[in-house]
Amino acid sequence: MTVIADLASTLHRVPMIRPWEPGRTFVELVVTRLTTGDGRTGTGFSWAPNVGGAAAHALLETDVREAAPGLPAHPAVAFDALSWRLHEAGYGGLTTTALAAVDLALWDLAAADGLTAALGRRRAAAPVYGSGVNRHYTLEELVAQARRWADAGLTAVKIKVGLPDLAEDVARVAAVRDAVGPGVRLMLDANQRWDLYRALRAAEALRPYDPAWLEEPLPADDVQGYARLRAAAGVPVALGENTHTVRQFRDLLTAGACDVLQPNVVRVGGITPFLRIAELARAFGVPVHPHLLPDLSGQLACCLPLPAMVEDVEDASFAALGLLAGPPPVRIEKGLAHPGDHPGLGLRFDEAVLAATRHDPGTRR
């Protein structure tokens, strides 16, 4: 079996078109190039919208780079070996964020005829929902964003809630519901900002606007809190973007903590663990909607056993950020994500853009 010969990673700070909040003007991208003993090269990446990119890069350039050479160039075999080697640094979080770059590079090599061909394509396209990090938007800006999504043909949208005043959240949700109409699915994301008491109050106040789901209302690791909330809220509960390991997802499912799972392919460690999570969710009859990264999530969504939606945060995909050379691997048109025909992951990064955004981890922000 071909083995991993070497890997090298670079850190980049990519300016955002629409800052996700005041002061957050860039995302951190780690690009990893992996070479095998027979001379082939695969490209993977890790990604952090806020913190952790530099730390993941450091882990890749030290412990991972020391441990990877000589391992079979097989995604699942390498993932399990590296996970065990690095578990003293944690089974999830930073460790899985770094390992994703290796796993994705190996899948880039393994999927010679394209990722959807390698995984088994089950549907031609997947529905897209418009999403925005918009808690800091004025009401007028928020409504205008929602109308852009509706005008683009999206049949589902997601907005942020969790402001200090619940009445303001209610007013904003009511305005967006009025803007998009009753036929559009409306999802609400609180980003872990509530405790159980406030989440129950919020669910009651927001229920009249027919939310398709309430996302991460509690801290992500509060399994029992989520189970109690789901039993009482009367609103579907979604979570998973800040859950990192298969065992953590197992605990959520066995506790009956959610109606929807949203694993982030980078935060869980790559496609290999993502597929394991999807099969676990299938056994519980819980749908998986990949979190963020539509350039990759659009491909995964078309291969999942249960129907899935693709999240497209406005102006935040790799394609929208200008990171890709040539056409993106997923085309979004009329509310649908269409994976194209391409080898590997289809992510050809623009070398000039990578050079311009390269960041020295030793410099301050």
Are 74 and 242 spatial neighbours (Cβ–Cβ below 8 Å)? no
Residue of 55, 49, 57, 45 whose CA lies nearest to 16 = 49
C-alpha to C-alpha distance for 46 and 48, rounded to whole angstroms? 7
Number of H helices and E strands in the chain, helices first, is 13, 12
Question: CB under 8 Å to 201, separation ≥6 — which residues?
Answer: 166
Tokens 């083995």 locate to 3
Query: Pick the catalytic residue: 12, 289, 291, 342?
Result: 291
C-alpha to C-alpha distance for 151 and 270, rounded to whole angstroms? 34
C-alpha to C-alpha distance for 21 and 191, rounded to whole angstroms? 13
Cβ atoms within 10 Å, residue 214: 28
CA–chain centroid gap for 48, Å, is 10
Token representation of residue 248: 């953590």
Are 343 and 304 spatial neighbours (Cβ–Cβ below 8 Å)? no
160 catalytic, yes or no? yes
Query: Pick the catalytic residue: 160, 244, 342, 359?
Result: 160
244 catalytic, yes or no? no
Token representation of residue 118: 């390698």
Q: Please report how many Cα atoms fall inside a 13 Å half-sphere around the Cα of residue 37, on the Cβ side.
A: 11
Q: Tell me the catalytic residues.
A: 160, 291
